Amino acid sequence: MRIALVFGGRSGEHDVSVVSARAVWRGIDCHRHEVLPMAVDRSGRWANADTSWRVLEQSKDRADEVLSFEGAQRLDSRLIEEKIDVVIPMLHGPFGEDGVMQGLFEALDLPYVGCDHSASAVCMDKALTKRLIVQAGLPTGPWVETDRYQWKNDPNGVRARAKTLALPLFVKPARLGSSVGISRVGSLDDLDRGVEIALNHDDRLVIEAGIDAREIEIAVLGNEEPRASIPGEVVPGDTFYSYEDKYLDDSCQLLAPAPVSEDEAVQARRLATEAFAALGCSGMARVDLFLERSSNDFLINEVNTIPGFTPISMYPRLWQLTGLDFPELLEELMQLALRRHGLRSGSRLNPA
């Protein structure tokens, strides 16, 4: 197969995406497949083939800060002019993981790895995710939603609704990742500040009750019949799993497998596949759960549709421990992409 490997992109997770893409490239069986790297710079423009190779081939742990590639184009013409069998969008965060790129591949009629445009958009949105989780009868913590308009016109109304939640609160931009713009608010006096910070990143916010919990992650893989990996656990080094924790310090620990009981593992895996289905996911997703310390109950926190694929990332590690090594995982993801594309084109050509 000829595989377009798309990486970098406009989000704050540009660097992580490059590191993920390098791991994917090394994991692809180059005797069976040909990789066409496609680097997207921070302004959203697509590098040419030479620059894309140069960025991909560096063996560093971190990517350089590339604001814009010289001679980059609004779109890589290889996507249109060359034969491409499948796209692997190894892009994290807004403009890559949120359905925007997936919509582009739909429009170009190209099979692509991971969730489709609509599930990607839903999972990027913490408010929509929670609504669908609740609607499916699945557990998630209490929250309220607000936006820039409400905050400007009726801040007291927003404060009053937030007050109904137990402290501490977590104030989050509705559609971001990497813990960017998230504040832990220990007293209502600090709520305004948290809201202002989050509004710097998105027009819509969620305010959640803080859950005193362990953070359990499950890797899910499949289309109609998704499978769940064994659980992993993140032990934050900070008061919560912050941006610094995720990418800068070494203080946070990733435990795989998670030290949970057999019962808890079964429950977590079932919840993860149910959440995957409820949100319309296909291909892959990493479902992040809270295991509340006081009740020992699981709650669904969020679903990441393009989880990290770096050598230390949880998603590939969990599959490795569940019996699927990295090259096999990539093969299966591409097969899932082809199957979904085949079914869709079939139904379009032959409407029932």
Q: Which is nearer to ligand ADP, 167 or 338 (CB)?
A: 167
Report the C-alpha gap between 229 and 316 in whole angstroms: 10
Q: What is the footprint of ligand ADP within residues 109-168 (CB under 6 A)?
A: 141
Element (H, E) at 216: strand 213-222
Segment contacting ligand ADP by CB under 6 A, of 151-159, 210-218, 250-258, 259-267: 210-218
How far apart are CB 347 and ligand ADP at their closest, in Å? 33
* CB 129 to ligand ADP: min, Å: 10
State the Cα–Cα distance between residues 206 and 341, nearest whole angstrom: 34
Binding of ligand ADP at residue 273 (CB under 6 A)? no
Q: Does residue 69 bind ligand ADP (CB under 6 A)?
A: no
Q: How far is the CB of 282 from ligand ADP (least distance, A)?
A: 20
Nearest to ligand ADP of 56, 195 (CB atom):
195
**What distance in Å separates the CA atoms of residue 122 and residue 280, rounded to the nearest whole number?**
9
247 binds ligand ADP (CB under 6 A): no
Residue 301 interacts with ligand ADP (CB under 6 A)?
A: yes
Bridge partners (DSSP) listed for residue 34: 2
Nearest approach, Cβ of residue 246 and ligand ADP (Å): 8
Our finding on whether 96 is near ligand ADP (CB under 6 A) is no
| Single residue of 99, 177, 307, 308 touching ligand ADP by CB under 6 A | 177
- Judged by CB, which is closer to ligand ADP: 3, or 275? 275
Establish if 222 lies at the interface with ligand ADP (CB under 6 A).
no
DSSP string, 242-259: -HIIIII-S--EEESS--
What is the smallest separation between the CB atom of 89 and ligand ADP, expressed in angstroms?
18
Instruction: For residue 346, count CB atoms less than 10 angstroms from its CB and return exposed for 0-12, middle for 13-18, buried for 19 or more.
Output: exposed
- 169-173 β-sheet, strand order: 143-147, 204-209, 169-173, 183-185
What count of other Cβ atoms lies within 10 Å of the Cβ of residue 226?
21
Interface pick for ligand ADP out of 102, 179, 267, 282 (rule CB under 6 A): 179
Binding piece for ligand ADP, criterion CB under 6 A, among 45-53, 206-214, 266-274, 320-328: 206-214
Report the SS3 class of residue 260.
coil
Q: Which long-range contacts (CB under 8 A, 24 or more apart) does 135-141 make?
A: 135/278, 136/274, 136/275, 136/277, 136/278, 138/271, 138/274, 138/275, 138/278, 138/300, 139/271, 139/297, 139/298, 139/299, 139/300, 140/299, 140/300, 140/301, 141/208, 141/209, 141/211, 141/290, 141/299, 141/301
Write down the least CB distance from residue 159 to ligand ADP, Å: 18
Residue with smaller CB distance to ligand ADP, 148 or 201: 201
Give the binding site for ligand ADP (CB under 6 A). Answer: 141, 170, 172, 177-179, 182, 208, 210-211, 215, 236, 240-241, 288, 301-302
